Amino acid sequence: MMLSDAMEDYLKAIYRLQSETGTPVSTSAIAEEVEKTAPTVTSMVQNLAERGLVEREKYKGVELTPEGETVALEVVRHHRLLEAYLTEQLDYSWVDVHEEADTLEHHISEEFEQRVAEMLGDPDVDPHGDPIPGADLRPLDGDETTPLSDHDAGDRVVVSRVRDRDEAELAYLDDAGIRPGTVVDVVNVAPFGMVTVRIDGDEQSLPEAVARTIRVRPARADRTPTEGVSDA
Amino acid sequence: MMLSDAMEDYLKAIYRLQSETGTPVSTSAIAEEVEKTAPTVTSMVQNLAERGLVEREKYKGVELTPEGETVALEVVRHHRLLEAYLTEQLDYSWVDVHEEADTLEHHISEEFEQRVAEMLGDPDVDPHGDPIPGADLRPLDGDETTPLSDHDAGDRVVVSRVRDRDEAELAYLDDAGIRPGTVVDVVNVAPFGMVTVRIDGDEQSLPEAVARTIRVRPARADRTPTEGVSDA
DNA sequence: GTCGTGGATTAGACGTGTCTAATGAATAAG
DNA sequence: CTTATTCATTAGACACGTCTAATCCACGAC
Ligand SMILES: [Mn+2]
Ligand SMILES: [Mn+2]
Ligand SMILES: [Mn+2]
Ligand SMILES: [Mn+2]
């Protein structure tokens, strides 16, 4: 099936929204995600439904079919492999890679995908900590991470993934030394505004808007997998 | 100026045809090069003329303006850098790179171009021996090479460039051990058909259709630049 | 239950790149 | 010169992705 860039972007958007909420996705949510108007989305969604890539209930919402999900996973795989490749092989900063990958994801061949994956040793996360779908395009596991802003003073957590779309935000995080793998101690959570954390001994405060986009997992005490859930 | 992939491809086509013949380019020649119908070409050429990228004389032909040539050179630079990059860094065969580059050339950023060029050490030819325009996009020098088929028995020549668009042909050349830099002794030129050559001691015959697409330069006796024209 | 309102869809339009069919221009052959 | 042939252009159509304006539907407030 020959799909346009636009169609791929809509499928990716629906995929993302669907994974976030678990429920059918609204026209307006898609419109916001792809930065198009609602009627534009309606007509594209009709098109995708005719091709069997989404299931649609009028006035209700839209869901990916298994085929649609596979396409979305392919695009996401391209995107995240490219991000990894650009940072590791071409010396891009993780701040800039998203935009470049967002275009290239639609234009690389299967061969390119394979060679890049091989060159990188089949990585399973991209530079922002987002999981890279495998070549088989099986659905990804559910996300176990929690927003940093949901944690309490005293918690010790490890940064798992950060949002990759906002360059200013990434630059901020980069500067703060926050990236996947960073160990963070939550020092204080003020009711409304700042989250104060300690990183590498330094204390600093993060606006809640930022803390909400940093996804973390519990730091198991000093890397000893004592009470780990299945990790194999 | 925001140009579509299609416009870039037409400009590249006009550029190629113009460098080959030196004269204004006909609608039908462009049509053949881009694999579109003549009316399609006419309308695109009108569009390009309105944008000041080509100079057009109705029923006569079309020529690039300096701005149009600059765009063409940019696309050609992308194409050839990508080909070099794919072969050198991603282990592509020179047989396959053309197609991949033909798409990607329209979708890489200036940053990508720069990083690739840097990574490769600013190469000046691509894997097929075609010159890569510099970052300044100055027009390329004229081509000094001659078709192998124009040579006579007894000539010793060095392969300079081969045609990159025909994968079957490239596979053939690859197999024959013919690539840029290969030293070739012309053993015999039959009036119509074969050109017999010696490469690395082995004699083999090439169909004239192939010999015509292999561009060579004289092998200066054993790499001693005695009677060289200006080479600095 | 009715109704108002917000979100979704339909209607209708436009720009782009492409096509086929019809027409027009340049030129080579007589 | 006139004409036949070839090549280019114009005319008109279509698919696609997008928009704005008009209409429609669902659902929460009453
Ligand atoms: Mn995209
Ligand atoms: Mn990412
Ligand atoms: Mn191209
Ligand atoms: Mn080439």
Closest-CA residue to B148 (of B101, B208, B98): B208
- Residue B14 CA to residue B4 CA, distance in Å, equals 16
Q: Is the pLDDT of residue B201 over 80?
A: yes
pLDDT at B226: 40
- Name which of A100, A116, A119 is nearest B112 (Cβ-Cβ): A100
Q: How far apart are CA A178 and CA A148, in angstroms?
A: 12
B198 beta partners: B185, B203
A111 close to B (CB below 8 A): yes
CATH of domain B146-230: 2.30.30.90
| Cα B136 to the center of its chain, rounded Å | 19
Chain B 10-39 residues in 7 Å CB range of strand C? 36-37, 39
Q: HSE on the CB side for A9, CA within 13 Å?
A: 18
Q: What class does CATH assign to A5-64?
A: mainly alpha
CATH class of A77-141: mainly alpha
DSSP state of B149: G
Question: Distance between CA A102 and CA A109 in Å, rounded?
Answer: 15
User: What residue spans in chain A does CATH classification 1.10.60.10 cover?
Assistant: 77-141
B31 alpha carbon to ligand 1 midpoint, in Å?
A: 31
Whole-number pLDDT of residue A229: 43
- Each residue's pLDDT tens digit in chain A (232 positions)? 899 999 999 999 999 999 999 999 999 999 999 999 999 999 999 999 999 999 999 999 999 999 999 999 999 999 999 999 999 999 999 999 999 999 999 999 999 999 999 999 999 999 999 999 999 999 999 999 999 999 989 899 999 999 999 999 999 999 999 999 999 999 999 877 789 999 998 999 999 999 999 999 998 755 444 443 444 3
| A39 in contact with nucleic chain D (CB within 7 A) | yes
Q: At what angle do helices B5-21 and B38-50 cross, to 10 degrees?
A: 100
DSSP per-residue letters across B212-230: TT-EEEE--GGG--SSPPP
Q: How far apart are CA B202 and CA B30, in angstroms?
A: 40
Whole-prediction pTM: 0.91
Outline which parts of chain B fall under CATH 2.30.30.90: 146-230
Mean pLDDT of the residues in chain B = 93
Confidence class for position B231, pLDDT limits 50, 70, 90:
very low
pLDDT band at residue B191 under the 50/70/90 scheme: confident
pLDDT in tens, B124-173: 999 999 999 999 999 999 999 999 999 999 999 999 999 999 999 999 99
Residue B145 and residue B215 in contact, taking contact as beta carbons nearer than 8 Å? yes
Query: To 10 degrees, the CA torsion angle through B57, B60, B64, B68?
Result: 60
B100 interface with A at CB cutoff 8 Å: yes
Question: Binning pLDDT at 50, 70 and 90, where does residue B18 land?
Answer: very high
Ligand nearest to the CA of A125: 2
Chain CA centroid to CA B60, Å? 25
